[in-house]
C-alpha cells in the first residue's frame, strides 16, 4: 500500500494566469492564483493532500491565507511533519479518526514552532 502526498504552497508555485491540475491518489487538486490583469500579484494559499489506498482514505487541508503567505507556509510545514500520524488515523473507524485528528490538530497548531512563528506574523 503506497500512500501519495502533495504539499503545495502558492508562494512557491503561484499559478498566476494559469490553471494547474494534479492528481494525488484519488484526489484531483486544482490550483489557480488569479489573473494578473485583475490585480493578482501573488498566491498566498496552500494545501496538503495525503491519499492512502483503500480501505483507508484521503486527508486534505486547505490554507486560505490573506495579507501574506507566512501562515499558510507554516501550516503546511507543521502538517508535513505529522503525515505519518495522519496516515495512522486514516486506518481507524470514522469516529476514532475524527477524535484522533482533533487531538493531532490541537497538538500541531497549539504549541512549538507553529505558535511561536504565528505570533510574529
pLDDT in tens, 71-90: 899 999 999 989 999 999 98
107 burial level (CB within 10 Å; 0-12, 13-18, 19+): middle
Number of domains in the chain: 1
Any idea what the Cα angle at residue 1 is, between residues 9 and 98, rounded to 5°? 60
H helices of the chain, in order, are 70-80, 83-90, 94-109, 112-118
Question: Facing residues of 14 across strands?
Answer: none
Domain that holds residue 38: 4-118
| pLDDT tens sequence for the chain (121 residues) | 578 999 999 999 999 999 999 999 889 999 999 999 999 999 999 999 999 887 778 999 999 988 888 889 999 999 998 999 999 998 898 899 999 999 999 998 887 777 776 666 5
Determine phi and psi for 8, rounding to 5 degrees. -130, 135
Q: Do residues 69 and 77 lie in contact, with contact meaning Cβ atoms separated by under 8 Å? A: no
Amino acid at each position: 500500500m503506497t500512500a501519495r502526498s502533495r504539499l503545495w504552497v502558492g508562494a512557491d508555485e503561484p499559478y498566476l494566469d494559469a490553471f494547474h491540475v494534479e492528481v494525488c491518489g484519488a484526489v484531483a487538486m486544482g490550483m489557480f492564483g488569479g489573473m494578473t490583469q485583475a490585480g493578482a500579484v501573488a498566491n498566498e494559499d496552500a494545501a496538503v493532500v495525503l491519499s492512502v489506498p483503500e480501505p483507508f482514505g484521503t486527508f486534505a487541508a486547505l490554507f486560505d491565507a490573506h495579507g501574506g503567505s507566512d501562515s499558510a507556509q507554516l501550516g503546511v510545514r507543521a502538517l508535513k511533519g505529522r503525515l505519518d500520524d495522519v496516515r495512522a488515523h486514516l486506518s481507524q473507524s470514522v469516529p476514532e479518526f475524527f477524535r484522533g485528528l482533533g487531538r493531532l490538530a490541537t497538538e500541531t497548531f497549539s504549541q512549538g514552532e507553529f505558535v511561536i512563528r504565528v505570533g510574529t506574523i
